[in-house]
Chain A
Amino acid sequence: MDLALLLSRIQYGVSLGTHFIFPPTTLGLSLFILLAESFYMRTKKEVYRDLSSFAVRILTLVFALGVATGLTLPVTLGTNWAQFSKISGSVFGVQLAVEAVVAFTLESVFIGVLFFGRKKVKPMLYWWSTLLVFVGSHFSAFIIIAANSWMQTPAGVHYADGKLILDNWLAMNFNPSSLLRFFHTVAAAWLVGTFLLFAISAYFMYKGREQVAAAKMMTIAGTVALICSLALPILGHASVLEIEKYQPIKGAAMEGVYNSQTDAPLYALGWVDEKDQKVIGLPLPGMLSYFYDFNFNYKVRGLNELAPNPADRPPVQSEFQTFRVMVMVGSILIVVLVLGMIFHARGTLTRKKKSLIAIMICTPLPYIGVETGWITAEIGRQPWTIYPDPAIGFPGLRTADAVTQGLNPGYVLFSLIFFSLVYILIFVVFFRFLPTMVKKGITPPAETPEQVKGGQQ
């Protein structure tokens, strides 16, 4: 593989993988804040206001780092993926501009009100701000997920002079896969954000601090997380069916199916032997056929039929494994959340120190889930950056052709090193200061001027 292409792919993967930690957290937190603030408006109980403020403090850190890591992404489309930008400019340019003007402005301006406005605006206006941040961040998510879905299932465009020309913005946004992917991603994002708060409440229970607030936080965050964790397998299954319909090659790679077969087994665990074209592992006989069509006689199409040329296939092992990691993480989270919420409802969770520790250990799991899910979706899109669409005569854009022509690999290496250093700094800031902020408590005492001065000597 061309060195500039390889480095560009690594760079984009590293950048997007880093970025993808923060926006899902933002989505989940914005939902929690909206709920807590609504309960506060209803009941006027201060505990809800404190919970909302606590989540706002976390949100500001997460949001700032999300913005910092997000800014490089569209810019990298220009620097490293210039061919892609030129070919899809009438779609991607418009989409990113709409995102910036309509969604992102709303989010960032009203996050300012959330963070600074508690004492300056009336409670009703503050509630509206929480709603606008929620709407802005979710609208932003929709626009970006729709753009990504469009790369997988193009719509609303025609192909002329080697470019994809936008004809219908709504059709482009509501392409065959965008709505389902939006719901799937948002449910996962809510799980990410609320599970973080769920684990933080477990921390306070473990330490015996903030008993009232921690219990309330666990009720709200845990309920949302539980609902999402249960909804995800359903949405995930719908996504699998959608992939089987529109991107069957990706689907076959995810299951390691080489030869078309009826009564196809589903491997719960396994290792793809790419050379001998088989999976070694734990098969559930006929279950794959059953899952696709509720019919054991359903013929599952394999890679050899769908993509006879190996150059048209994504890396099978990677697809097979990342997909399974995502499913496994989701299953573990369901168990943890169901048990945790049962104990919490009985009021016995605060005494179960080991359960609380188990919940805290699970904190990284939702992140592993969304990252592996994202990798499955995007590696599965390979070798295409934009999927072919025979209906409009579009032969597809291969990732190898999407990269900037004549790109100097030295430049890419230079940017990869510099960006990685900044990302390391971002991780240090996040992992050092998020715990610091949490340890200050849900209702921290106001900082005194002495502390401010003392810290700056």
Chain B
Amino acid sequence: MTPLAFWQSYWFIIIGAALFIFTWLDGFDLGIGMRLPFTKSPEHRLTQLNTIWPFWDGNELYGIIGGGAIFASFPVVFAGLLSGLYPWVVLLMVFVMLRPVSFEAWVHDQKGRRFWEVLFMLSSFFIPFIIGVAVGATMSGLPYNASMEWDPAHSFFEALSPLSILMGAAFVAVSLLHGTTYLIRKTTGELAAEARKSLLPQTIVAGIFVVAVVLVALLGGADLQGSAPVGKPFAPIGVPLAVVIAVVALVGLVLTHAGDKDSRPFVFSSLLVGAVWLFIGAVQFPTMVRSSISPDFSLTVFKAGVSNPLYSLQFLGVLGFIALAVVMVYTIFVYRIFKGKVDASQDHY
């Protein structure tokens, strides 16, 4: 393996890891957001927001880090994907902006809270959905031509495939489930009981979508062969491993949904998030974007001209690794400051 190939593979894993952490941490913020308007008591809604309030800015950051990592390592993928998926990206950005805005407005606008809650819910729903569709579309294939650009003859609707739509639905269902387990972990009393009641149905729905994604991907929706000489080196190990982890997570959720251990369901929903990303990574590597026009046009990490040159990859590879380690340390430190159950108090005022 050449040093360049090493750093190209390294960056694939870093991007995957950042996106996993994003869906793992911000995933529960999104789930909490989706639940918000359906919680009846205003006091409980405040408690619910209090559970994510100090963290969600920091959580969302891993999504930015993931996107930034794509730009930093594979600018052609970054530019090609964003310009190709233009209208979807615009919708995603609208909801990404609306989420903090509705949150801030909710804090200050006592009378209009109902409106901001619904806006917060809608953004929390569409963010994982559009990201899921985009990720699914890179697996099922997008119309990339020989010059590594979205072929102008193809419409942006080609991002919609059975796999991409199911992936969007799976991202929503898993985020919702993850928000519910987080709520069980962070709250007590009626609110936690409400969350517990919804855990089993949500597990079943998430399970159905995850299973559907796996089946559609394996039955021809995604490319499991790749092309010589690299092929898909991780698929034979990664895919079965991901399926096993997903099964363990789903069974665990079913077994613990009515128990009295408040942290267990969260552990299992975290495993489920991890399994989804492991599956995506194992099916994809080394492909970043599969071309629906010809397998030769797929953007893989090793393809000439796709990645940045060695210096950029190496420099940021080392600096970013150290920085991320430091970030992890202080993030854990801050989580520990705010650990434990949350109620409707307003300490911050």
Contact = CB atoms under 8 A, between A and B. Distances in A.
Interface in B55-109: 55, 57-58, 60-61, 64-65, 67-73, 75-76, 78-83, 86-87, 89-91, 93-94, 96-101, 103-105, 108-109
B103 A453 contact: no
A17 to B, nearest CB: 15
**Most chain A beta-carbon neighbours within 10 Å: one of B57, B319, B346:** B57
A105 B327 contact: yes
Interface in B324-348: 324, 327, 330-331, 334, 337-338, 344, 346-348
Nearest to A79: B82
A271 interface: no
A68 B101 CA distance: 7
Nearest to A91: B312
B153 to A, nearest CB: 10
Secondary structure call for the A interface: helix
B162 interface: no
A452 B104 contact: no
A231 interface: no
Interface in A241-295: none
Given A89-B75, A112-B54, A65 B110 contact: no
B346 A452 contact: yes
Q: Is the interface of B mostly helix, strand, loop or mixed?
A: helix
Given A72-B93, A79-B90, A98-B316, A117 B308 contact: no
B101 A109 contact: no
Given A102-B323, A116-B338, A452-B43, A418 B75 contact: no
**What is the interface residue range for chain B against chain A?**
35 or more
Contact of B83 (A82, A93, A451): A82
A112 B98 CA distance: 20
A404 B54 contact: no
Contacts of A457: 42
Interface string B191-222: 00000000000000000000000000000000
A84 to B, nearest CB: 8
A165 B259 CA distance: 57
A232 to B, nearest CB: 31
A437 B108 CA distance: 8
Interface string A85-125: 11001101110111111101110111111011111110000
Q: 8 tightest A-B contacts by CB?
A: A89-B75, A455-B110, A78-B82, A456-B42, A93-B72, A82-B79, A93-B71, A433-B108
12 contacts: A80-B83, A82-B82, A89-B72, A97-B68, A104-B61, A109-B334, A110-B330, A111-B57, A115-B348, A415-B93, A418-B94, A451-B110
Interface of B: 42-43, 45-46, 53-55, 57-58, 60-61, 64-65, 67-73, 75-76, 78-83, 86-87, 89-91, 93-94, 96-101, 103-105, 108-111, 113-114, 149, 152, 308-309, 311-312, 315-316, 319-320, 323-324, 327, 330-331, 334, 337-338, 344, 346-349
